[in-house]
């Protein structure tokens, strides 16, 4: 197999000349190809078959113990000018990065197969979708790309029709952490990733293409590429709203996108359009519409159980690839908080001993096709996407941020998004539980200067009269003893209901300096055992703490110098003044 697209044919040829693989395999995306690759990896020990009676077609991959999460410190944006990448990114000049990567890629595929993986991010027939080609020497990456994207022949046909595609070159190299780099060249629509076989570092359609390159492209073309889930909320009367929500990695996007209403909320339905990435475009009428560029989930496994997320739990009973989970005596995948059983083998394949810490790696993952989700919305395949009523930002914050508040307008909403802070999680290498600014949950994923990115967000105000309403939520408030104040999970529906009621103009609110908060009694607490004083503290705004927060935001914004939009400075000052 080859291609009629001359640029692609030449790139494959040049890449083969550099990396010197033994074989080149053009992926067609068929099930037969997937099954053959699974067999190949089973034969090599790269995959382990799990109990085929209780977990049919499920496999376990153990990654190198040094290669278990995204590596933000080794991820670079390589633009001609440093200011284009901004203080929010590591920067290297394109010349230097190319030189360094060329020497790493030189001969790195000797003895290996080079997979050419054409993929489409978004429904194949959507004008909002974009194609890419990943070249990789990893069969694990290839099968994951089949689950996560529309991969193969049809994507190649679209590339041949349109002539446009992003290029991603990946090699696992020798997995040496000192020779590991994830480079982005936005102006060349090019990604180069070396030395990691793990998720967001290696499945280049996801964070590298659909967020870093796409956010840069979107800023030039007038749309948004965001780290957001997309869900459909249907009321008992059949009214439907579509909500996009941005939370930092491992803060519950998958759980919210697959929410199961508690018994007391009979008749409400949540359907999933996406759990990680949204591409948002204004249509001809000024309505913001969203597509999910992905077609699979790469979700965090620990904590998934029938109580926290029955849909996710059910959808991974067959067909997923598990990465870095533990195994029980019945050769079934096991992870913390799955059930009361004991693991026998930990994520590294060692006999399980309690003193070694978690049996499954805290960032262990499942990869599964989105259609397996019981709450999957067929609208995820609609080329026109869905109309968004509300955008939600949120973070993991023990203190300060109330359960929910609404920005007073779009400009204030941009400030709320730009001010998001959250405690770090195991999704990236580094300390866990440290609060950091993570604007729009895009800190690790924005492919250009945040100052320019916020300006781009602000520009939507001039382009539409009917933008979505913007909200902030915090499911993670704790008391002095570290106990969560809000039950979260299915009960978050109660907050979503207030949000759509606000969008529909059906409910009032209390105006505060930080935005609109629910009036007492406006969040439906039927069937929930929560003390009134807890609700009061979940919905309180302490002006002194918020003044400190506003000063902290000012000092963070200061890092962006002249790139910081004046409107955002003025908006922050307005809120600070209102706090007294
Ligand atoms: C992810 C992440 O894997 O955000 O989605 O790290
Ligand atoms: Mn993510």
- Polymer length in residues for the chain: 580
Nearest alpha-carbon partner for 311 in 277, 266, 261: 261
298 lines ligand 1 (CB under 6 A): yes
Is residue 304 within 8 A of residue 313, CB to CB? The reply is yes
Instruction: Please write the tens of the pLDDT for every residue from 305-317.
Output: 999 999 999 999 9
Cβ 250 vs Cβ 427: under 8 Å: yes
Q: What is the pLDDT along the chain (580 residues), one digit of tens a residue?
A: 789 999 999 999 999 999 999 999 999 999 999 999 999 999 999 999 999 999 999 999 999 999 999 999 999 999 999 999 999 999 999 999 999 999 999 999 999 999 999 999 999 999 999 999 999 999 999 999 999 999 999 999 999 999 999 999 999 999 999 999 999 999 999 999 999 999 999 999 999 999 999 999 999 999 999 999 999 999 999 999 999 999 999 899 999 999 999 999 999 999 999 999 999 999 999 999 999 999 999 999 999 999 999 999 999 999 999 999 999 999 999 999 999 999 999 999 999 998 888 999 999 999 999 999 999 999 999 999 999 999 999 999 999 999 999 999 999 999 999 999 998 888 888 888 888 999 999 999 999 999 999 999 999 999 999 999 999 999 999 999 999 999 999 999 999 999 999 999 999 999 999 999 999 899 999 999 999 999 999 999 999 999 999 999 999 999 999 999 999 999 999 999 999 8
Q: What residues pair up with 472 in beta bridges, in sequence order? A: 393, 405
Q: What is the pLDDT of residue 430?
A: 85
Q: State the pLDDT at residue 426.
A: 85
Tell me if residue 131 is catalytic: no
Distances (CA, A) of 46 to 2, 323, 366, 499, 504: 28, 11, 16, 46, 52
Tokens, residue 107:
């001969």
Average pLDDT score over the chain: 97
Query: What is the C-alpha to C-alpha distance for residues 466 and 210, in angstroms, rounded to an integer?
Result: 26
User: Residue 256 C-alpha to ligand 2 middle, in angstroms?
Assistant: 13
Which residues have C-beta under 5 Å from ligand 2, the single-atom ion? 249, 276
List residues bridging with 120 in a β-sheet: 131, 150
Q: Could you tell me which residues are beta bridge partners of residue 366?
A: 299, 322
Question: Do 380 and 267 form a contact (C-beta atoms < 8 A)?
Answer: no
Ligand 1 proximity of 276 Cβ (cutoff 6 Å): yes
Q: Catalogue the long-range contacts made by 529-535 (C-beta closer than 8 Å, 24 or more residues apart).
A: 530/486, 530/487, 534/485
Q: Residue whose CA is closest, atom 1 of ligand 1? A: 249
Instruction: Ligand 1, residue 69: give the atom nearest the CA.
Output: 6
Tally of helices (H runs) and strands (E runs) in the chain: 16, 31
Ligand 1 lined by 199 (C-beta under 6 Å): yes
DSSP-derived secondary structure letter, 381: G
pTM of the model: 0.97
- Say how many Å lie between the CA of residue 221 and the centre of ligand 1: 25
**What is the separation of C-alpha 466 from the centre of its chain, rounded to a whole number of angstroms?**
26
Report whether 116 contacts 135 (CB < 8 A): yes
Quick one: tokens of 246?
A: 């941005």
Per-residue model confidence (pLDDT) at position 302: 96
Distance 427 CA to ligand 1 centre (A): 6
The reported pLDDT for the residue numbered 152 is 98
> Phi-psi bin for 163: left (phi > 0), alpha (psi -120 to 50), beta?
left
């Amino acid at each position: 197999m080859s291609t009629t697209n001359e640029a692609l044919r030449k790139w494959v040829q040049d890449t083969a000349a550099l990396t010197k693989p033994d074989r080149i395999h053009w992926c067609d995306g068929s099930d037969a190809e997937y099954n053959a690759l699974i067999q190949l990896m089973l034969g090599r020990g790269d995959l382990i078959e799990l109990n085929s009676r209780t977990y049919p077609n499920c496999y376990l991959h153990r990654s190198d113990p040094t290669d278990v999460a995204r590596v933000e410190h080794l991820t670079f944006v390589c633009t001609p000018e440093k200011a284009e990448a901004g203080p929010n990114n590591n920067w290297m000049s394109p010349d230097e990065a190319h030189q360094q990567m060329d020497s790493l890629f030189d001969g790195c595929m000797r003895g290996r197969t080079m997979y050419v993986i054409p993929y489409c991010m978004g429904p194949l027939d959507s004008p909002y979708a974009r194609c890419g080609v990943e070249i990789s020497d990893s069969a694990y990456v290839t099968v994951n790309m089949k689950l996560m994207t529309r991969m193969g022949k049809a994507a190649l046909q679209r590339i041949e029709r349109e002539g446009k595609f992003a290029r991603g070159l990946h090699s696992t190299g020798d997995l040496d952490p000192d020779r590991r780099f994830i480079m982005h060249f936005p102006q060349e629509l090019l990604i180069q990733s070396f030395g990691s076989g793990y998720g967001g570092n290696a499945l280049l359609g996801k964070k590298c293409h659909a967020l870093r390159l796409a956010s840069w492209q979107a800023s030039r073309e007038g749309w948004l590429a965001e780290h957001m889930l997309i869900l459909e909320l249907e009321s008992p009367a059949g009214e439907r709203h579509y909500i996009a929500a941005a939370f930092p990695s491992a803060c519950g996007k998958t759980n919210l996108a697959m929410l199961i209403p508690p018994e007391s909320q009979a008749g409400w339905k949540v359907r999933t359009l996406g759990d990680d990435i949204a591409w948002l475009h204004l249509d001809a009428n000024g309505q913001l519409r969203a597509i999910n560029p992905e077609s699979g989930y790469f979700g965090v496994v620990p904590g998934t159980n029938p109580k926290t997320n029955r849909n996710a739990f059910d959808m991974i009973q067959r067909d997923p690839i598990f990465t870095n989970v533990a195994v029980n005596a019945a050769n079934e995948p096991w992870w913390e908080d799955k059930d009361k059983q004991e693991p026998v083998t930990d994520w590294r394949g060692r006999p399980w001993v309690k003193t070694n810490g978690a049996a499954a790696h805290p960032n262990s993952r499942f990869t599964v096709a989105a259609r397996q989700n019981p709450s999957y919305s067929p609208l995820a395949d609609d080329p026109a996407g869905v109309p968004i009523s509300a955008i939600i930002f949120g973070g993991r914050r023990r203190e300060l941020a109330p359960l929910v508040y609404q920005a007073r307008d779009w400009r204030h909403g941009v400030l709320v998004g730009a001010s998001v802070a959250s405690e770090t999680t195991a999704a990236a290498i580094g300390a866990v539980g440290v609060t950091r600014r993570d604007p729009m949950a895009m800190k690790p994923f924005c492919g250009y200067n945040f100052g320019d990115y916020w300006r781009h967000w602000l520009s939507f105000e001039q382009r539409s009269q009917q933008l979505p309403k913007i909200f902030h939520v915090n499911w993670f408030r704790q008391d002095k003893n570290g106990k969560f104040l809000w039950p979260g999970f299915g009960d978050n529906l109660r907050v979503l209901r207030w949000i759509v009621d606000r969008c529909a103009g059906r409910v009032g609110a209390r105006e505060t300096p930080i935005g609109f908060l629910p009036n007492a009694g406006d969040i439906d607490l039927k069937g929930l055992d929560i003390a009134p004083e807890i609700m009061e503290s979940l919905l309180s705004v302490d002006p002194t703490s918020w003044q400190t927060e506003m000063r902290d935001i000012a000092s963070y914004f200061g890092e962006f110098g002249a790139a910081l939009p004046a409107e955002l400075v003025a908006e922050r000052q307005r809120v600070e003044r209102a706090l007294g």
